[in-house]
Structure 1
Amino acid sequence: MTRNLTYDERKAAQLSKDLSGMDSGSVMAFNTRRGVCFDYACLYVSMCRAVDLKVRLVTGLGYSGSSWGDHAWNQVYIPEEDRWVNVDATFGTIYNYFDKPDFSVDHRDAEVQGEW
């Protein structure tokens, strides 16, 4: 995903002004290969479910390098270790954000929005 999607700066700017009337989610992200963090996280859920992985959609705050802002990411369940692992496909375009030991440095106030 991190190599096949492009972050949609225009959509992000529009969402900061008005949340209504925007196409979002996994189908839109898959078809356009563009999206914001929520779209990345939704597509990650769909891909995990396609291969029977337990997954969560999480929202909270992410640190962009200059400020904290609304953000979405995922957690995937690793049954061999009996634990949930943080995954951020959006930040993953810059660095490996799968089970990153210091994930909490730039992610906070996590709330699970759904679990499948």
Structure 2
Amino acid sequence: MKKFLLLAVLALGLVACGQKEEVKTEETTQVEQAVEAPAAEETIITFAREDGEANIVVKSSDNFETATIVIEDQEYAAKQAVSGSGVKIATEDGKISVHFKNDEGILEMDGTDVNLTVVKE
């Protein structure tokens, strides 16, 4: 009798733990297809130079993993570089870099540093 009760409890446990197969309806399939990753939005930051020369524009659509630095209508491709804090992007050859945090930054170009301030639009 004890064995019979034990087997009955085990059988009931196995039945309760069995997987229930979910039937997909057309509606759930349409909802799954409608959900897509949002398109990356381009971030554009404009900096005013302390020396009064042309503004610097930094554009990125991947959270500054890569970016474009625009100086006087010249575009330079840049990648994120190591920085203690803030964001630093530099060209492949390292001749031009922009390091910024909050509303301030530094442009390093041709061996000189120029202080930058974010232009509020």
Q: Structure 2 length as normaliser, TM-score?
A: 0.25
Q: Which has the higher strand share?
A: 2
Q: Which has the higher helix share?
A: 1
Structure having the higher Rg: 2
